[in-house]
Amino acid sequence: MQGSPQDLDRLRLIGWAHWNPIGLEGPPATPADEYDDYLMQAAGMIISGSSEATVVDYLVRCAEIDMCMAPADHNAARTTAAAIKALVETDDARRR
């Protein structure tokens, strides 16, 4: 991932489709950037070599602690982490 607007759009699609811990309606009813900071951090973790499980833990903590949405949906966090990892790996493969 290079941090392009397209990368952010793809991260947003992942977040709204799989994670959405607050249960918002999503764009256009909700600002598209609602989860950007969390998703960009998760992508950065994958890029830096963190395991998928570490990213799942991060997303769960964000939902439970930052958003007070306990108990967090662990399946949603797993699906989101896997999708972000796949996105990062696809982008890496394209650059080679």
Each domain of the chain, given as residue ranges in start order, spans 5-95
Cα separation, 72 vs 68, in Å, equals 9
3-state class (DSSP) for residue 29: coil
Q: What is the pLDDT of residues 54-86, one digit of tens each?
A: 999 999 999 999 999 999 999 999 999 999 999
pLDDT at 7: 86
CA distance 92 to 75: 26
pLDDT above 70: residue 39: yes
pLDDT of residue 45: 96
pLDDT mean across residues, the chain: 91
Residue 41 pLDDT level (bands cut at 50, 70, 90): very high
